[in-house]
Homo-oligomer: A and B are copies of this chain.
Amino acid sequence: MTTLDDLLTPRSVAIVGASDDPTRIGGRPLSFFKSLGYEGKVYPVNPNRDQVQGIKAYPSLGDISGEIDFVLVAVPAKGVIDVVDAAIAKRAKTVMIFSSGFGEMNEEGQAMQDRLTGMARASGVRIIGPNCLGVFNSAINFYPTFTTTVERKQPKPGGLAIASQSGAYGSHIFYLAHQRGLEMTYWITTGNECDVHVAEAIKLLAEKEDVHAICAYAESIKDGDMLVEGLEIARANRKPVILMKVGRSAVGAEAASSHTASLAGDDKVYDAVLRQAGCYRARTTEEALDIAYAARPRIYPTGKRLGLVTVSGGGGVLMADAAEDYGLDVAAMPKDAQAIMKELVPFAAPRNPVDVTAQFFNDMTLVPKFTRLMLEQGNYDALIGFWTSVAGSPTISPKLRAGLVEAMAGGDRKLFIQSLVATPEICKQYEDEGFPCFEDPSRAVATMAALMHFGMAFQKGRAQTPDVPELPPLPEGAIGEKQAKEILAGFGLPVVEDTLATTAEEAIEAARKAGGPVALKIASPDILHKTEVGGVALGLEGEDEVRMAFNEMMTRVRTAKPDAKIDGAIVSPMIEDGVDCILGSKLDPVFGPIVMFGLGGIFTEIMGDVSLRRAPVSEATALEMIDELKGRALFEGARGAKPVDKARIAKAISQLSIFAAAHAGVADSIEMNPLRVLEDRCVALDALIVKRS
């Protein structure tokens, strides 16, 4: 098993293609090792020079007598394979390849890159890159990178770690994080990811004790299982993972995939899977860094109850608006605590947001009084204070800070974000006392929401998933509706009872048994869209109607689809009432089978009101899926309907997810659509199983 130390804490490093010019790609790392003080052994490899930047050089890796942990490759693409061969021969642990001209270039390059993948797998050597900008471990001053950013901003060791597929963007994030005063020990860019990819980097960082928060950037995920594994390790270790998975949009996804030549995957699936695994998906770089910054005190509120205190009514309203946007609970202060506040400041609005007015700055003894009342009586999970630029003044700032520190002493350690306009120096004084500072109050609220997400995800822990049994294989060939229903019913899923009729008389007999109006649907493994070929007739009553419908349907369908194998027609009872839902699963190229539940038809197709999860899910998780729907009110008795038994739906969702997981290798998509949900039962009126092509 590779550890982060194997990759980033080598005792010796060789630079193949080392340049004497410290501004060139092959020269910069050597220059950094020297100037920034890496203490391991450094071996420049350059067949044309005895010395490189004043250090003894070797003609080839093989000429080095000592052990080499880390080989940095900065030679043109065509020479890379030979260098990696030599590195394997020298039993290097890690090879990092700067060189471009691989998968990002053309098919020939991709073939070379695939060969590198094979070499890594076969030998056990770990390869970072190719087309990679480098990594660093600032704790040992190890800077094998050609980004100029570390010249301009030398990292300070500390708890934030960055993993980025893109080198340029990874440098950019590092630069901005440094500018915000964030300390970073580890920085990893993975480039074309022939072997080590961002998902593994996240996992390795999550396992490492001196990493406290991970900020990652990815255009694609090579291994969905490993990503989830890494995220769950991070959750278990209480480390927030802030992931920028870009390519959310159609154009963005296309740009990302042309950039990294990788499969996009469904963006909504990313959203769902990342949330499920406790990760926070940031939409902008600024948002990601806001969260990384505010995570520094390592306090993650375990609920959404937010207390707001302000010297400006306007600031309070703005924060309350933002809190609602993010689904936070701006609960009111208890009445008696409000009365105490009113006694202290008659002009105060003590509900929440608590508006203490400018009186706060006139009488600083109010600061700890109000804050303690909010912490002790308001029972908030966290607080945000809005103080304007007045709090940034050198005379007022120290008094405010002292009051806040006094208020927080004693009680539980809670997060209190300060929104004020101040110089970086004054902000730092607040930060040193454990108070993150934000100029914009709405950004403070957005960041708070993210930290609450982490707090609740850490508390909740990894979701239990049901065991996936070994199931009998799916039948050969295409699976028709009737067969699909039988297979699903055989696994305990609720599907309507129906009968295959091969003649009109059989259809009439089946209708009689059903004992009410029936539906007739064409039975053919070759026809997926029955309505389009006239293969559906609804609400048939009486012998004559059924006979005519059967005969006409056979004629219509044979005309429309002369080559289709037709087994007959399926006769099923009409179920008029209830809410139409869709329950299904789809094989995602990154994360495997994804179970989906939503309201039927228009809601799913036009409103996109569906819940997704990685299969399998427990019934408890399935209940969460139901409650995520905007249209959930329909299950709770909206519009005069009777509330339905959600547990029954949850059981069906969980069962279907287990079925999908059991057939992950074979089934592409499974659908129970519509799944008719009634007061006391739910039942699929139609079903579909499509196998992978």
Question: Residues of A at under 8 Å CB distance from B?
Answer: 148-149, 152, 164, 166, 168-169, 171-172, 175-176, 179, 217, 219, 244, 246-252, 254-256, 258-260, 283-286, 311-318, 320-325, 330, 349, 351-353, 355, 358, 388-390, 393, 421, 439-443, 531-532, 601-603, 605-607, 609, 630-631, 633-634, 638-640
Contacts and interface: CB of A to CB of B under 8 A. Distances in A.
A462 to B, nearest CB: 29
The quantity of this chain's copies bound in the complex is 2
Contacts of A259: 313-314, 316-317, 349, 355
Choose among A316, A393, A532 the residue with the greatest number of B CB atoms under 10 Å from its CB.
Answer: A316
A318 B285 contact: yes
Given A168-B314, A249-B323, A634-B606, A389 B440 contact: no
A441 B168 CA distance: 14
A172 B640 CA distance: 49
Given A286-B440, A388-B171, A602-B639, A249 B421 contact: no
- Interface of A, secondary structure class, is helix
Contacts of A286: 439-440, 442-443
Given A440-B285, A440-B286, A321 B152 contact: no
Contact of A246 (B149, B254, B317, B330): B317
A255 B171 CA distance: 43
A324 B603 CA distance: 22
Contact of A638 (B149, B388, B605): B605
Choose among A248, A251, A609, A631 the residue with the greatest number of B CB atoms under 10 Å from its CB.
Answer: A251
A524 to B, nearest CB: 19
Contacts of A169: 312-315, 318
A688 to B, nearest CB: 17
Given A321-B283, A602-B639, A607 B630 contact: yes
A42 B256 CA distance: 65
Contact of A176 (B171, B217, B421, B640): B421
A602 B638 CA distance: 9
Contacts of A324: 248-252
Contacts of A439: 176, 286
A443 B323 CA distance: 20
A571 B244 CA distance: 60
Nearest to A175: B389
Nearest to A532: B640
Nearest to A349: B258
A356 to B, nearest CB: 12
A685 B169 CA distance: 58
10 contacts: A168-B314, A169-B312, A172-B388, A217-B314, A250-B324, A255-B351, A285-B442, A286-B440, A602-B634, A603-B607
Contact of A313 (B168, B315, B607): B168
A353 B313 contact: no
Contact of A252 (B248, B318, B421, B639): B318
A250 B330 CA distance: 10
Given A443-B284, A602-B639, A606-B631, A315 B389 contact: no
